[in-house]
């Protein structure tokens, strides 16, 4: 049954939701507060990551966060501040960071990532798109034996759940990347991962959706949602009032500001990430994560992207030069002879990744609102999980059996 649907948010999750909804014959309107040319969906590493099956809320992260709190150039930086919502989120994160909960979520995270990767391939093969997509896997590069052992322990868990994983020596890494001059002790290689150029996909998907009749309301901010008897009756922007049968909330880090207005609490904190683009030849052909520095490196369409850091400091787009410099130093430290110049650093961008306390996104409906589907909280897996989330959203909106069990992703789950 065709429905009239308003999608709040024009990032990767919103666009993929619109894609699958229009495929089902729905009349779709996408509303976004920006011009849809910036933010987390444009500055991410472009990874599709079945390899990232360990939740962000893992044992030991609390101690690392405290250790790094006073170092603004650390891989994870928690800006000290008096914020009740952040305190509640941090408490829920601590409750979630147990070995038992992490183990329970491994298959959940792996399965939705594999599902999403297959959907990306389906979209690519549909004949309607020409975006950059490569499945070359991912190198988890390490410089110390201690980190190498930690990464291989995770890799062995990956093997147990059916992923292809190898522990490569320094020589084997450099045979894969003969022109990159990698200075590492080794790397754990996952053959299951893929990578893309995010801006290419976003532009192509937007153009495709417009060509199929999807309406876009850009530079239009949702200020309120009116709910009567657990039903959204109006979506109110600063320009107009929108009515629909169903509403999809895919507003990333801003989603809690909307749900709060209707009495639904979804704990989300904005995790700021940075990227530097190098449009010179680097010799890098394989995506890699520089483990000690937590920096992602991606060979994209016409440039190499260096991305990373997680900064929990509220909703803001301030570019901290220390964090940009940390990414630059990591590149030089792992790739001999690679210098990111001042102009490239000055053009660094950031985006806000919506982080849930347990490392799982929110996908589905709350019991408090019958026609609102929530899709947010994907943290660093937003790009990876775009199509899977969009498909699950469309199935939820249309009352179909979902391709994956949504219970672990429930917006009503307790921490």
CATH number at residue 140: 3.30.9.10
Is the four-CA dihedral 87, 93, 95, 97 of positive or negative sign? negative
* pLDDT computed for residue 58 by the predictor: 81
Task: Looking at the structure, tell me whether residues 362 and 351 fall in a common domain.
Answer: no
What is the distance between the alpha carbons of residues 21 and 397, in angstroms, rounded to a whole number?
A: 8
Residue 53 lies in a domain: no
Instruction: Let me know the angle formed at the C-alpha of 148 by 338 and 335, rounded to the nearest 5 degrees.
Output: 5
Q: Are residues 185 and 304 in the same domain?
A: yes
At 384, which CATH number?
A: 3.50.50.60
Q: Which domain holds residue 207?
A: 4-41+201-267+358-409
Q: Which of 310, 331, 355 is where one domain is finished?
A: 355
Residue 83: the pLDDT is 87
Do residues 56 and 244 touch, judged by C-beta distance below 8 A?
A: no
Which residues in 106-116 are b (16+ Cβ under 10 Å) and which e?
bebbbbbbbbb
CA distances (Å), 221 to each of 122, 235, 238, 332, in order?
32, 10, 6, 41
Task: Verify that 243 and 386 share a domain, yes or no.
Answer: yes
316, 376: one domain: no
Beta strands in 98-156 (DSSP E): 133-134, 138-142
Do 235 and 313 have their domain in common? no
State pTM to two decimals: 0.96
Q: Give bridge partners of residue 237 from the DSSP assignment.
A: 222
Judge contact between 404 and 302, C-beta under 8 A: no
pLDDT value of position 316: 93
pLDDT of residue 1: 67
Q: Do residues 146 and 34 share a domain?
A: no
- The tokens describing 295, both together, are 């920096």
Q: What is the DSSP string of 211-262?
A: HTT-EEE-S--EEEEEEETTEEEEEEESS-EE--SEEEE--GGGHHHHHGGG
Integer Cα distance of 403 and 406 in angstroms: 9
The total number of structural domains that make up the chain:
2
Let me know whether 186 and 296 are in one domain. yes
CA dist., res. 402 & res. 391, Å (int): 8
SS3 at position 312: strand
* Ranges of residues in the chain whose predicted pLDDT is under 50: none
Pick the closest to residue 385 from 69, 113, 21 (CA basis).
Answer: 113
Is residue 69 domain-resident? yes
Beta-carbon contacts of residue 115 (< 8 Å; ≥ 6 apart) = 388, 391, 403, 404
Fill in the DSSP letter of residue 46: -
């Amino acid at each position: 049954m065709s429905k009239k649907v308003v999608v709040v948010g024009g990032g990767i999750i919103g666009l993929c939701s619109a894609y699958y909804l229009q495929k089902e014959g729905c009349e779709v309107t996408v509303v976004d507060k920006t011009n849809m040319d910036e933010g987390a969906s444009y500055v991410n590493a472009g990874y599709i990551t079945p390899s990232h099956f360990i939740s962000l809320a893992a044992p030991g992260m609390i101690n690392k966060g405290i250790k790094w709190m006073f170092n603004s150039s650390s891989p994870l930086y928690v800006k000290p501040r008096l914020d009740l919502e952040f305190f509640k989120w941090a408490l829920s994160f601590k409750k979630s960071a147990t070995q038992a909960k992490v183990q329970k979520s491994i298959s959940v995270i792996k399965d939705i990532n594999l599902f999403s990767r297959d959907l990306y391939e389906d979209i690519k093969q549909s004949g309607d798109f020409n975006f950059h997509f490569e499945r070359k896997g991912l190198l988890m590069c390490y410089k110390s034996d201690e980190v190498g052992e930690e990464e291989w322990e995770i890799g062995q868990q990956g093997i147990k759940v059916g992923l292809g994983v190898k522990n490569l020596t320094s020589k084997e890494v450099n045979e894969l990347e003969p022109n990159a001059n990698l200075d590492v002790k080794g790397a754990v290689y996952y053959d299951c991962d893929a990578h893309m150029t995010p801006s290419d996909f976003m532009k192509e998907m937007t153009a495709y959706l417009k060509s199929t009749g999807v309406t876009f309301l850009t530079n239009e901010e949702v200020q309120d949602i009116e709910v009567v008897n657990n039903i959204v009756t109006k979506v109110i922007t600063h320009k107009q009032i929108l009515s629909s049968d169903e509403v999809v909330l895919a507003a990333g880090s801003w989603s809690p500001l909307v749900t709060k207005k209707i009495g639904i609490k979804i704990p989300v904190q904005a995790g700021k990430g940075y990227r530097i683009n190098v449009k010179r030849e680097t010799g890098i052909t394989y995506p890699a994560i520089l483990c000690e520095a937590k920096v992602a490196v991606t060979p994209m369409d016409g440039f190499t992207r260096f991305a990373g850091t997680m900064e929990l400091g509220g909703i803001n787009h301030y570019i901290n030069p220390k964090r940009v410099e940390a990414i630059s130093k990591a590149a030089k430290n792992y790739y001999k002879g690679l210098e990111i110049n001042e102009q490239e650093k000055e053009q660094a961008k950031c985006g806000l990744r919506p982080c849930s306390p347990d490392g799982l996104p929110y996908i589905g409906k709350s019991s408090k609102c019958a026609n609102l589907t929530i899709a947010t909280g994907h943290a660093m897996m937003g790009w990876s999980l775009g199509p899977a989330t969009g498909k699950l959203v469309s199935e939820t909106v249309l009352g179909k059996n979902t391709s994956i069990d949504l219970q672990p992703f429930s917006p009503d789950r307790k921490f």
